[in-house]
Amino acid sequence: MFGFIVKTWNPVTGCLHDCYNGKCWASLICNRFKKKWGYDFSPRFHFERLNEKFKPNTLVFTVSMGDLFGWWVKPEWIEKILNKIKENPKTTFFLETKNPPRYWHFSIPKNTIKSTTIETNRNYKVSKAPSPLERYKAFKYLDGVKHVSIEPIMDFDHDVLLKWISEIEPWKVSIGYDNYNAKLPEPSIAKTKALIKDLKAIGIQVEIKNQFLKEVE
């Protein structure tokens, strides 16, 4: 979870990207509590959650337990959620996806922060989501406020990833290592710290997710 999030809202749950050798944090949590909650990580729409009330001046992570813009999500589900967002113009809604090309298929309200995950510039094929290159190309030309999640970070080419992020021009970047022993190809801590330093040098806010990286702040 991102440190700046105040509230979560999950009218859609579940995901078919199958990321990180089955070690996606959302799938682990959802499957752990499936008996208590009454559902697993299979995609579903919780229609009753469209009745949620929102406070003004609040940042709401919309679909933190899934991917709202995944290829499997019905367009009418997405439209219902976007309409609810439009009905609450004084609340800001945080949207996160690993399928940013689909942002272009909808009219996204202005009271949103659009986010995507770009864990690396390399294609390690650790999920069924579009490759990092595809995400970058689809995301960089979107307007509005944007955020990039570099978590779980995987080994990268410094100059390439720095260029991608600078061209996207995000409001903020969140960087963190894997916490679920997914055995990913990770960069050295020194390499990640160098990326953080250079992102800050070009004026990008960085949220650091791991305590052992905090000394860069």
Report yes or no: 216 and 197 within 8 Å, Cβ to Cβ.
yes
Residue 34 has pLDDT above 70, yes or no: no
Can you tell me the distance from the alpha carbon of 114 to that of 66, in angstroms, rounded to the nearest whole number? 15
- Strand-strand pairing, 112-117 and 145-150: parallel
The identity of residue 177, as a single letter, is Y
pLDDT class for 181, splitting at 50, 70, 90?
confident
Q: What's the pLDDT score for residue 211?
A: 83
Torsion of CA 9, 12, 17, 21, to 10 degrees: 60
CA angle 124–14–135, rounded 5-degree value: 35
Which has the minimum average pLDDT: 75-84, 114-123, 130-139, 177-186?
Answer: 177-186
The domain spans of the chain are 7-216
Per-residue pLDDT for 49 more than 80?
yes
At 217, the pLDDT band (50, 70, 90 cuts) reads low
**Mean pLDDT taken over the chain:** 93
* Cβ atoms within 10 Å of 44's Cβ, excluding its own: 14
Residue 134 or residue 25, greater confidence:
134
Domain 7-216 has CATH 3.40.50: no
The three state secondary structure string of 150-174 is: ECCCCCCCHHHHHHHHHHHCCCEEE
What confidence tens digit (pLDDT) does each residue in 110-134 have?
A: 999 999 999 999 999 999 999 999 9
The strand order across the sheet containing 172-175 reads 7-9, 59-62, 92-97, 112-117, 145-150, 172-175, 205-208
- CA triple 4-10-15, angle to 5 deg: 100
Residue 215 has pLDDT above 70, yes or no: no
